[in-house]
Amino acid sequence: MPGNTFGTLFQLTTFGESHGAAVGGIVDGCPAGLDLATEDLQRALDKRKPGQGGATTSRREADTVHILSGVFEGKTTGTPIAFQVINENQHSADYDNLKNLFRPGHADYGFFQKFGLRDHRGGGRSSGRETIARVAAGAIADVLLAASGIYVYAACEELGGIPVRSLEMEHAFDRPYFSADESVIPLWDERVQAARKDMDTLGGITRVEIRGVPAGLGEPVFEKLDARLAYALMGVGAVKGVEIGDGFAAARATGSSNNDPILPGGRFASNHAGGILGGISSGQDIVVRCAVKPIPSVPRKQDTIDTEGHAATVQVGGRHDLAAIPRCIPVHRAMCSLVVADMLLMQRRMGRGDGAYRQF
Amino acid sequence: MPGNTFGTLFQLTTFGESHGAAVGGIVDGCPAGLDLATEDLQRALDKRKPGQGGATTSRREADTVHILSGVFEGKTTGTPIAFQVINENQHSADYDNLKNLFRPGHADYGFFQKFGLRDHRGGGRSSGRETIARVAAGAIADVLLAASGIYVYAACEELGGIPVRSLEMEHAFDRPYFSADESVIPLWDERVQAARKDMDTLGGITRVEIRGVPAGLGEPVFEKLDARLAYALMGVGAVKGVEIGDGFAAARATGSSNNDPILPGGRFASNHAGGILGGISSGQDIVVRCAVKPIPSVPRKQDTIDTEGHAATVQVGGRHDLAAIPRCIPVHRAMCSLVVADMLLMQRRMGRGDGAYRQF
Amino acid sequence: MPGNTFGTLFQLTTFGESHGAAVGGIVDGCPAGLDLATEDLQRALDKRKPGQGGATTSRREADTVHILSGVFEGKTTGTPIAFQVINENQHSADYDNLKNLFRPGHADYGFFQKFGLRDHRGGGRSSGRETIARVAAGAIADVLLAASGIYVYAACEELGGIPVRSLEMEHAFDRPYFSADESVIPLWDERVQAARKDMDTLGGITRVEIRGVPAGLGEPVFEKLDARLAYALMGVGAVKGVEIGDGFAAARATGSSNNDPILPGGRFASNHAGGILGGISSGQDIVVRCAVKPIPSVPRKQDTIDTEGHAATVQVGGRHDLAAIPRCIPVHRAMCSLVVADMLLMQRRMGRGDGAYRQF
Amino acid sequence: MPGNTFGTLFQLTTFGESHGAAVGGIVDGCPAGLDLATEDLQRALDKRKPGQGGATTSRREADTVHILSGVFEGKTTGTPIAFQVINENQHSADYDNLKNLFRPGHADYGFFQKFGLRDHRGGGRSSGRETIARVAAGAIADVLLAASGIYVYAACEELGGIPVRSLEMEHAFDRPYFSADESVIPLWDERVQAARKDMDTLGGITRVEIRGVPAGLGEPVFEKLDARLAYALMGVGAVKGVEIGDGFAAARATGSSNNDPILPGGRFASNHAGGILGGISSGQDIVVRCAVKPIPSVPRKQDTIDTEGHAATVQVGGRHDLAAIPRCIPVHRAMCSLVVADMLLMQRRMGRGDGAYRQF
């Protein structure tokens, strides 16, 4: 398949450029009979908007979503759910000077190499605006997951090198930066201010925890649950690393300390594995972390080449975020929702009840 | 799709349990006219055998591969290439005591939850023996890649917490542990001895570098090259983290230091990105690192439950490796070969020459 | 995959109910750099509108299409091409009496059984309006095909039991009923009048010829070109039979008369095979025929049951066509365009020039 | 995907050339816990062997099948089921004279055009021997179907232009030619003798009926049940036409006669539709018919060209069947089993019981 479809049974196909007419997508495979309202999508999209903390752009984006199909009298019908957000407030002229230049660290060069031409306005298809479709679809997946008792939490765990000191996943979505720790927020504010003064940008680490996942999800040997999560998250812009459970720390542990002893009732004495054993959910909380690189749009002069291959310099103006965090966090959350929804339907094909074996 | 098929156009489907009749696979989509011999597969499989360093089992595995189809008079015909390795030297009785027990840190529990029953002998489908098919298929991919000037290097970068001090990727495959640094080998030998004495196991970090990849491979927004590599590698047993380029270090960098300035000729002043921009290859070397957890088969008593849910202890005997490294390294290498081969064919569908835009 | 995505490399995903907000789709995988305008799609959709002959509804459907993405400065960019038609002129109240009834011969019963609920207005997802997306996408495929010298012709070959006496495929699209034979049109007009008077409906046979297809398209053993055409066409509403070349007549022929002798230059002495040998295009014209059943919306009382399972009668009012022909003919044409475009890209992955072997 | 994988959730991937080492396949996605024995596959393969009537070759083919994985202690484990048949009794030299010639009506020319080279021995991948994998996989599907009360019947309905006069589907598999009508067998014997004397070959029509299918299977709008059946059957060698229910006869019917009135209990007053409405099973018997062309291997001199493009004549010797019927009938049956098994698992993902809505 070409690259704009995600998932096997709960399947999302997306479209849209930053400065095109609209961005949106089609969710195919959502079971019939679920309660779904436009507000479910809008609420999720609102969390993706600027203004969740000091690191985001001053652009005003309304991003009003419309559902075009697949819902009748408030319920999903089992047919494709199409949705879209009309692009407004575009300042395409802001990008005129970038028409023939490749911004370092951006997708410009790759797209040009791949397709031989590109829509340079606002990054075109490589813009962060394509994530609108991911977040809206994630909200649809969340409705399915909620009906199965599954909930996905996401938070910022580190920003500009400053980690949180506690993990309060349940409260993160209501805080600036979606921070897992309220106490670190002033430090992050300072760090962001300093970076802005330096004309520089910051990276960080995001964390997703998925609770209530029944044991048994994941399809060895290639569609393992951890493989699908890594695929889903590494495909989000700016992500350069993905960890499940202890991740790279596990590489330095010994087997005796890294194993999670199994207890009666299908509980575990620890969760180094991050809720996944042999690529299959164990019933524990699923824990995933992503490394998010600093946004490449630094407001400094940078060396590059133009589309003719000649040396040039580029200075990125426009209205840009200082870090992908926090805006990427609802996106990471949505991708995890999509993966689990898909794996849930995959397991249902077995004709076994969800979580039938969870209790001994 | 169920989980045992990998790739879109260069596609591998695998089968086989540890103590079943055979393990093997079918490669579908390999272009016609390539020179391919059984020896190409055997040579790759021999690198996966025990004996590449002090950390591996004393089991003797012949693992002789047979090609059953798709090759005629020494050339690929474009039809499916089936191959298999007959399982020999099985000691199924070694696993009798594990029949009703879930080994902590293993796939036992997940498989039982998923399917309601399992082939417990040697881990069944979750055994490392399933990677034989990955390695053999990777060798077929390598023939295609070599014809396009692409070569995949793999090495061990860290073992038991001891990192290499240099990266000589070209020589690693001929060294114990596939070490990227000869000088660190005695230290690793010591670390392994100590772990064996402790009745414990070790983890480590692997590194793959892919050279000669033309710019333009990868299919945004979901089938990006980095997403596919993360998917491919996180799906290999024992991998708990994947990084592209600077990975988690990029999360602590600033944009001004993390960007790779672009130079005339499509070269770059640095490679923090690991050869991938916006999910598309840039023509630079592609760099991927994996965190490998310690093997869970520690020869100590561990707490667990049986298939009835009752508390139990398990002690794993048999012939086991002390670390997945080095044996997983040819597997990681193979998965990268499969991904790049697939993306290469995907790009060819565009009807543009491979690497047409590499030179300005 | 759920059922609303078509194709492997040239891929269409569609959405939309008859009386929902819009119908449309996303074409993913169209190569970059092709000239594409909204008019290309609109022109194709206009051929699907009522008014191509005496057998169609008096409904006025503007069906104005909008492209939302994937085209920049008049050229395809290689990113997804989304398009949609806003539904207007809906008379949902016309369908109120059908809310709890299953119309015989319609999809009502199947949808209810499958999903447990349905959007009954105008047939919902099972309405002929979903074919708008097929036709629009077919127009995009046609741009790709034209660039490779391939052209798809479609015509009506038989209506209400009255066959054509000549096959002028090139002129059919400009005639009433898309008739392959001008002389038969008055007879068809009479047949349609008689059926209308009888309060009955008619079926017929459509024919598609695809010219300029290079030898070599089709992917044995399951994705053969004929298999894909049959799949594409049998999936269009009202189609109950598909033939390639001589079709069912071949079942009564002998081998000596049915074989097509091969001549120097890769020509053939006859074309009983319909341009496909062993599932692969031979370079001859591809010939496909479809049996189209009479439209089930006869304006008579019919026996049925309601959604509670009780006996009932139903009489279908509203504005309905008398035959799926001619309106289904642009749809059959579009499906063939989509199949050939997909198979063309599949063959390009081989890295061999299109039609490289056509000339000896 | 390349062309050698069939199905979405119940998925078959096949391999093998006529004169290669083996033919076989991998079934991925078969649910765990089903009773499956090698004999289930062997029994189905034995029906595919020569000797089911007067029209088949005198070749002796043992075709002993081996299961290599996915079954443990007599039960499917949910992991891939690989199986293979070693090729024996090959007379490759019989085909030496065909090395550089394209047999008219065969796949030779298409394969050469597609791949640029081919394994000419016995047709290579285009040989009827590839259907061994289809039949073996169909037998696995049948185990799943039987557990859901679904049974697939297949028969010959017409041979050499002589149709049956009754349809006794339940008895056909035990008769010569798999004839649906015992009384027609002597006529077919005569017809076959006459054709042999004429050095010619015959075609015919096959019929499959699928009973016990719950209402609700099929995935509109592209993966409809009829679309998938047409795809499955048109992809079998020698099939040139596929009909569902009344097929081409429906094109000549009127709506009032072609509609099937719906009766309380989800029964129908007739079955013109062949058990499928709107692409979804209605709970009625599913009826499919295939046109099978005469085998192109007529033992006469035929005009052709060689691989250099020069005019030539070819005379096919070797041991060949006189008609694809009856040997293709177990293949047609198997393809239908595979389709229904796949659609059954697709429907299960909905989380609704199989056939939950069948009874009102």
Closest C-chain CA to B32 = C350
Residue with tokens 């559902």: A67
Name the more confident of D319 and D32.
D32
**Range with lowest mean pLDDT among A153-157, B46-50, C326-330:** B46-50
Compute how many other C-beta atoms are within 10 angstroms of the C-beta atom of residue B122: 21
Q: Collect all residues of chain C within an 8 Å Cβ-Cβ radius of residue B31.
A: 349-351
pLDDT tens for each residue of A288-326? 999 999 999 998 999 999 999 999 999 886 667 899 999
Which of A48-62, B249-263, B323-337, D308-322 has the lowest average pLDDT?
A: A48-62
Q: Chain D: nearest CA to A95, how far in angstroms?
A: 38
Between chains, do B5 and D17 touch, taking CB under 8 Å as contact? Answer: no
Q: How many CA atoms lie within 13 A of D108 on its CB side?
A: 26
Which residues on neighbouring strands pair with residue C12, listed in sequence order?
Answer: C6, C27
Which of the four pLDDT bands, split at 50, 70 and 90, describes residue A58?
Answer: low
**pLDDT, tens digit (0-9, with 9 covering 90-100), for B271-320:** 999 999 999 999 999 999 999 999 999 989 999 999 999 999 998 866 67
Determine contact: B306 vs chain A, CB below 8 A. no
Q: Does C18 touch chain A (CB under 8 A)?
A: no
pLDDT for C156-191, tens place per residue? 999 999 999 999 999 999 999 999 999 999 999 999
C108-164 residue pLDDT tens: 999 999 999 888 888 899 999 999 999 999 999 999 999 999 999 999 999 999 999
Task: Compare CB distances from D15 to B16, B69, B119 and report the shortest one's residue.
Answer: B69
> Which pLDDT score is estimated for B270?
98
User: Does the pLDDT value for residue D357 go beyond 60?
Assistant: no
pLDDT of residue B60: 58
C-alpha to C-alpha distances, D293 to A211, B316, D209, D258, nearest whole angstrom: 58, 61, 21, 28
Cβ neighbours of A28 (radius 10 Å):
27
Mean of the pLDDT values across residues D164-191? 97
Indicate the pLDDT class of residue B95, thresholds 50, 70 and 90. confident
Lowest mean pLDDT among A188-202, B16-30, C310-324, D152-166: C310-324
Mean predicted lDDT score pLDDT of chain C: 92
| Contact (Cβ atoms closer than 8 angstroms) between residue C121 and residue C18 | yes
Q: With CB atoms and an 8 Å threshold, state whether D5 touches B5.
A: yes
**Position A62 confidence tier, pLDDT thresholds 50, 70, 90:** confident
pLDDT at B319: 63
Q: What is the pLDDT of residues C38-97, one digit of tens each?
A: 999 999 999 998 766 556 655 555 899 999 999 999 999 999 999 999 998 777 777 788
Q: Does A86 touch chain C (CB under 8 A)?
A: no
**In the block, residue with structure tokens 């019927």:** D325
Q: How far, rounded to the nearest angstrom, does the alpha carbon of residue B99 sit from its chain's CA centroid?
A: 28
Flag whether residue B116 sits within 8 Å of chain D, measured between CB atoms. yes
Q: Which of D193, D164, D132 is nearest to D330 (CA)?
A: D132
Over residues A163-172, mean pLDDT: 98
Contact (CB<8Å) C348/B346? no
Give C98: exposed, middle or buried? Use CB within 10 Å, 0-12, 13-18, 19+: buried
Q: How far apart are CA B342 and CA B228, in angstroms?
A: 10
List the 277-296 stretch of D: residues with Cβ below 8 A of C: 277-283, 291-296
Peptide bond preceding D85 in cis form (omega within 30 of 0) = no
Give chain C positions within 8 Å (CB) of B9: 349
Residue B70 has pLDDT above 60, yes or no: yes
Q: What confidence category does residue D351 fall into, taking pLDDT thresholds of 50, 70 and 90?
A: confident
The pLDDT value recorded for residue A360 is 43
State both tokens at A17. 């450029």
Around Cβ B273, how many Cβ atoms within 10 Å? 27
Least confident of A66-80, B225-239, D294-308: D294-308
Residue D187 pLDDT greater than 50, yes or no: yes
HSE at residue A297, side-chain half, CA atoms within 13 A, is: 20
Q: Which two tokens stand for residue C46?
A: 């206009």
Reported pTM: 0.97
In this predicted structure, the answer to whether residue A28 has a pLDDT above a threshold of 60 is yes
Question: Which positions in chain C touch A2 (Cβ < 8 Å)?
Answer: 9, 11, 28-29, 80
Answer whether the bond into residue A326 is a cis peptide, omega within 30°: yes
Q: Can you give the pLDDT at residue B122?
A: 86
pLDDT score of A358: 42
- What's the mean per-residue pLDDT of chain A? 93
Mean pLDDT of B204-213: 98
- Tell me the per-residue pLDDT of D188-247, one tens digit each, with 9 for 90 and over: 999 999 999 999 999 999 999 999 999 999 999 999 999 999 999 999 999 999 999 999
For residue B360, the model assigns a pLDDT of 43
Question: Is the per-residue pLDDT at C30 higher than 60?
Answer: yes
Structure tokens at B187: 């230290």
Local confidence band at A87 (pLDDT 50, 70, 90 cut-offs)? very high
Average pLDDT over chain D reads: 92
**Chain C touched by B32 (CB under 8 Å):** yes
Q: Which residues of chain D make contact with B125, given a CB cutoff of 8 A?
A: 69, 77, 79-80
**A76 vs B120, which has greater pLDDT?**
A76
**pLDDT tier, D355 (very low <50, low <70, confident <90, very high otherwise):** very low
